[in-house]
Structure formats: C-alpha cells, structure tokens
Chain A
C-alpha cells in the first residue's frame, strides 16, 4: 500500500513537471476546459437558484388557492365564497388575499402590490405605511424613513412611508414587492369592499386536500383550485426543461470540446512520443505511462473544473448572470434588478462533473492508450 502511494507520488511529480514543460499547450487546453465548465456551470447554477427561489416562494404559499373564473378568465372573488369554503370539513382557515400588478413608468418596471396576510404579524401595516423589496428600493432610490410615491392606474397619487425593507433570503420573490394596508390597496385600485383577488385555504390534514377540492368543486362551479403541489411541479418542470434545452444546445459545445480534447491528446509531438518511448525502455510499464497520463488529465480537469466553477459562481451570484438571464428568466426584462441568493448543492456539482469531466476522459482515453503503447524499442532505432 505504501509502495502504491509512493508510486503515485512519483507519477504525479513527473506529470506535474511534464505539464510545466509544455506550459503553452496545456494552458490552452486549460482555458478551453475552464470556459466549458464556466458556461455549463452558469446555466446550472442559475436555473437551480431560480428554481429554489420559486420553491421558497411557494413554501410560504397556502396549500390551496381558490380563484374565480369568469368566461375562463381570472376574476375577483366575492367574500361570500369564503363563508362557503369555511363550512367544508377539514378546512382549517380561509382567507381573502389582495394583490395586483402595477407598471411604473418612472422606473420602467412592474411591481407587485400586496396586502400582507392578517396572520403575518411581522409585516403588519397601518394606512399610509409600506414595506418594500430591495429591487423597488433601488429602482426608486428610496430607503427606510423616506416616502414612496405611486401613481394609480386612475392617475391618482398615493404617498406611502417606507417602514422597512424586505429581507433578502429570496430576492426574486421579494424584489418587486410593495406591501401596503388593505385600505390603501382598495383605494388605490378603486376596489369595492367584499371582493378579493383570490382566496387562500389552509387545510389541517394535507392528505385530505384532494377530497376537499373535489367536494368544493362540486358546489362552487366557477371556482378554480390550485394546490401548492401543482404550482411547484409546474415550476420545476418548466425551469428544468428550459435548463435542459439550453444544455442540449450547449451539447454542441461539449461535443466541440471533446473533439478538441481528443485532438490535443492525439496530436503528440514527436518529442513527447520519444519521451514516452524512453520511459518505457528504461522500465516503465504501459500502465505506468497510462497512469501518468490519466493523472495529467485529472490535474487539468480538476483545476479547470474548480476555476470554471468559481467563475460561474461569481458570474451568477455576484454579477446576476448577465449573460444568461434573458434566456432563462424570460420575464426579467420588466423585472427590477435583483441578485440571486447563492445556492449550491452536491447534485449540481456532480451533474456538472458528468457533463465536463466524463466527455473529456472519454475523448482522451484512446489517444492516451495509443501513446502509452508506444513500442519501447523505438528509442533504439
């Protein structure tokens, strides 16, 4: 065992000096490798972070949302629905929610206006007060203690004192959010009392959700029920699918990279071939040479992977994935700026490794073998 470790140490030693001796060529390979890792890594980290944001958004969402449909379109829900729903067994709580979108020409962005739930003690607001997301704060240049001025669709102005900023553990959810009191909200959108945007249900036993929905749907014919699960799996599949599609397109770049690696590995200079011949003649076995070459691949892979991954991390989480967000976010154009909260997990890293290290190894294995089986007697000729 010790002998084996010593042997690997010698091989790594030699590999390292051999890499250094052909610095220019290996730097080139390293750069391309790191670039591929960077590209793929950016896509994965970004879409993973977005998916997590969505999951976080939904984690706080009620088990069931109830909307009313009029001519197939989402309409306001009268408060009478609340009473009906509360009568179903298993419904722990039903609450009307008020929220809506506002396009703000001043900052050229869409905001979400929302009345915090009555159960949300942390964000309780009086009339004339507001709590806003980081994105809104920076877009409008207001801070805590200052005044936010909003212009309603009817052309009236609403003056709100900024009480607080929303915490940033999920920026995509909260960045565009403006919380305000129910009175202000109804006045701002000229909404009569007794109607809500939609309703939220809390159910005591999650296993009963489907039964409750079935029963409710039979009596409330114009209502649509959306469970948290539905939304989550839609998000999951939409984002996974987009990410996957993008990666499939990037597959060509993986292909190109593999061909490049193959080419680099098979285009041994006569110098290098001779070197391998010498090693074999003086007592190295084919497998020693292969081990040496595989170490070389491992060193290059590992360093390129780490560097590419760190760059991707910086790109996504420090520079808001400037290169990608039009593709993956879709709605981002009218969204205020936000930065993603860093999130990495093992599955992501493993997958990224599969997409980069595996094709590299596959592409270089045959050339490595060819080089390693150089006849030792060539050095005598």
Chain B
C-alpha cells in the first residue's frame, strides 16, 4: 500500500541549524489497516506523516503509494495525489476561523470545481454521520473542541480519501471524547480506509482497533519497533 525506502528528510539544508528529521527510513504500511506511530516528541513522527501525506518531498529516498512512486513528483502532481488519496486531521485542527463548519468541510473540494449542490449535499451527509448536523451553519470559533474536531474529520473525508492521517488527534480531548474519536476510527476502518495515526497517547496505542504500532526514535524506526496489534 505504502512503502518507504531509504527516506531522508533534511530541513534547513546547508545552514547552521540543519536538522535531519528523518534518516534512511524504510517502512511498509499495509492497506485497510490502522497503524499508529509512537515515539517521543522530536522522534520524527510528524515529519514522517508529512512525507507520506505528500505534504513535502523527501530530500532523498523513494516513497510509493498504491504502486506509484510519488517522491519525485513536482508539487502540482503531489498535490493531486494528496487531494485524491489523503485526508488529514491535524493536531491543531487548522480549521479556518470566520467560515462556517460546512464551508470548512467543503474547502478541500473547491479546486476540483464540483457541482455546488452535490458538494454541499456530501458535506451535509458527513456532518450527519459525525453527529453534528445542526452545527453546519455555525462559525468555527463558536464550536466546542469536540465539535471542531469532528468538523476537521468531516473535512478530511470530503474528497473520499483512501488513507486518513491524523497527528496527535487526542492530545486535547478528555476520555469520553477520545472514546468517541476511536469509534469514528473504527467506522473508517469498517469502510476499508487505511488509517495512520501519530500519537503517544496510551489510550490510542492500546486501543483494540489498532492493527499495528510502529515506534520511532531519532528519525528512524527503533529496533524491534514494529509490533502487530495494539500494545
């Protein structure tokens, strides 16, 4: 499904504050499964998600997604792959303030130029599915944390992605909201979507919906860091 070979990502290349966030990393991620990346902060989890999610190009190495090598693609086509394949739930949610919930959900589909009525319908269905139907017209800044996260999830799903990526999704959630989040992940799994989470939250790493846990350290997979099933 997803493979990485010898992937290295260097930030601030050639400068004094050069950082090797990911180094010589090799990994394979199976489709239709839920995989969790865990590890201390600074271990490269987020950078790895960035590379897999086509948000940035690796400095060297190859990344393939669904049989296609994406690491050498120009930005334009990386964006295309990203838009078609991935849905993102960011740690800081990154919803746009001043817009309503449904506008935020529809945003990723704007450049596709879909029919407005159908897009609106699809966004409404997603908000329904995530149990926040009556908040569609509410501005983001008036939503509670849990509601906002569900809007972010709806936004991630609007282009019907095969792979959903979430970075520290439960960092700011209490346990009941965390449970709710896990139920959503379970549903995504039932819909045969691949889910990739980065988290050091034991409530996530230990959840039974997790198929695989990958532990990272210093920008690479630590020794024996791949465990099948939850930990």
- Do A and B share a direct contact in the complex (Cβ within 8 angstroms)? yes
Within 8 A of A (CB), among B57-112: 75-76, 79-80, 82-83, 88, 90-92, 94-96, 98-99, 103, 107-112
A380 and B111 contacting across the interface, CB-CB below 8 Å: no
Q: Which of A33-41, A230-238, A273-281 sits within the interface?
A: A273-281
Q: Which residue in chain B gives the minimum CB-CB distance to A1?
A: B113
A284 to B: closest C-beta gap in Å:
5
Q: At the interface, yes or no: A6 with Cβ under 8 Å from chain B?
A: yes
Q: Decide: A278 and B110 in contact? CB cutoff 8 A.
A: no
**B155 CB within 8 Å of chain A:** yes
Structural contact, A380 and B167, CB atoms closer than 8 A? yes
In chain A, what residue has the closest Cβ to B100? A17
Would A3 and B49 count as touching, CB distance under 8 A? no
Q: Name which of A7-15, A57-65, A85-93 contacts chain B.
A: A7-15
Q: Is the CB of B111 within 8 A of A278?
A: no
- Chain B contacts for A2, CB-based, 8 A: 113
Selected from A21, A281, A283, A284, the residue in CB contact (under 8 A) with B94 is: A281
A4 at the interface (CB under 8 A from B): yes
Question: Do A281 and B111 touch (CB < 8 A)?
Answer: no
A5 at the interface (CB under 8 A from B): yes
* Docked-complex contact A275 and B110, CB < 8 angstroms: no
Give the distance in Å from the alpha carbon of A6 to the alpha carbon of B110 in the complex: 9
A-side contacts of B159, CB under 8 Å: 283
A377 to B55, CA, bound (A): 5
Q: In the bound complex, do residue A11 and residue B55 qualify as a contact, i.e. CB atoms below 8 Å apart?
A: no
Residues of chain A contacted by B96 (CB below 8 angstroms): 275, 278
A380 close to B50 (CB less than 8 A) = yes
Shortest CB-to-CB span from B34 to chain A, Å, is 20
A366 on the interface (CB 8 Å rule)? Answer: no
Task: Point out the residues of chain A lying under 8 angstroms from B91, CB to CB.
Answer: 380
| B132 contacts the other chain (CB 8 A) | no
Contacting pair A377 B114 (CB below 8 A): no
A282-B88, A282-B155 in contact; A7/B55 too (CB < 8 A)?
A: no
Nearest CB in chain B: distance from A13 CB, A: 8
Q: Are A14 and B110 in contact (CB under 8 A)?
A: yes
Q: Contact between B113 and A7 (Cβ–Cβ < 8 Å)?
A: yes
Cα distance, A328 to B56, chains bound together (Å):
59
Q: Contact between A6 and B56 (Cβ–Cβ < 8 Å)?
A: no
Give Cα A271 to B109, complex, Å.
22
Any B CB within 8 A of the CB of A286: yes
A282–chain B nearest beta-carbon distance, Å: 4
In the complex, the answer to whether A21 meets B111 with C-beta atoms within 8 Å is: no
Q: Could you tell me the distance between the alpha carbons of A253 and B113 in the complex, rounded to whole angstroms?
A: 40
Given the known inter-chain contacts A274-B94, A286-B75, A379-B94, please indicate yes or no for A281 contacting B113, CB distance below 8 A: no
Given contacts A6-B115, A10-B110, A284-B110, contact A380 B99 (CB under 8 A): no
- Nearest-neighbour CB distance to chain B for A83, whole angstroms, equals 82
| Interface: A375 (CB within 8 A) | yes
The 6 nearest A-B residue pairs measured at CB: A7-B113, A283-B83, A6-B113, A10-B110, A3-B113, A21-B98
13 A–B contacts from the bound complex (CB under 8 Å): A2-B113, A3-B113, A6-B113, A7-B110, A11-B110, A17-B103, A278-B96, A281-B55, A282-B108, A283-B82, A283-B159, A285-B111, A381-B46
| Interfacial residues, chain A to chain B (CB-CB below 8 A) | 2-11, 14, 17, 21, 274-275, 277-288, 375-377, 379-381
